[in-house]
Amino acid sequence: MAKKSKKTSAGTPATTALTAAGTDFTLHSYEHDPAAPSYGEEAAQALGVEPGRVFKTLVASVDDRLTVAIVPVSATLDLKALASAVGGKRATMADPAVAERTTGYVRGGISPLGQRKRLPTALDASATGYETICVSAGRRGLEVELSPKDLASLTDAVLAPIART
């Protein structure tokens, strides 16, 4: 069962950034199963939230520039749409080790917030259909719920249709 707490730091760079910005958020923790085939689907199920409201953070390379894509866990990233959204021509998924090193987070726990290096970011436009969405809070088994508007503002994200269902 997921535990909720309001505005606590939890000690990750993501929650520290949210607290420092004065952003309203709710923290959800759950017992992560290392054998889970999909971190995002596991989070949605543990939180009792529809998968379209839980967003995964992916790191891609757009014209050789690392870029963050935030898409629903129920969808896949459309690399062409991502490239277009950030003014590029070609996108490929980044090497997982490079993504971890650049963001400061481990795969399955990469948060769009509080990354080591600020990267261009795109948030799938479907996020605006929800009052709040969930994204990783910086480690497996920890999600942060916040408004899509706050997430876009804190990450300087462009809103664009970058997901495919």
Domain range annotation of the chain = 3-164
3-164 belongs to CATH 3.90.960.10: yes
Rounded Cα distance between 93 and 51, Å, is 22
Per-residue pLDDT of the chain (165 residues; tens, 9 = 90+): 344 444 444 589 999 999 999 999 999 999 888 888 888 888 889 999 999 999 999 999 999 999 999 999 999 999 999 999 999 999 999 999 999 999 999 988 999 999 999 999 999 999 999 999 999 999 989 999 999 999 999 999 999 999 998
Angle at which helices 13-21 and 148-155 pack, to 10 degrees?
Answer: 100
Look up the pTM and report it: 0.91
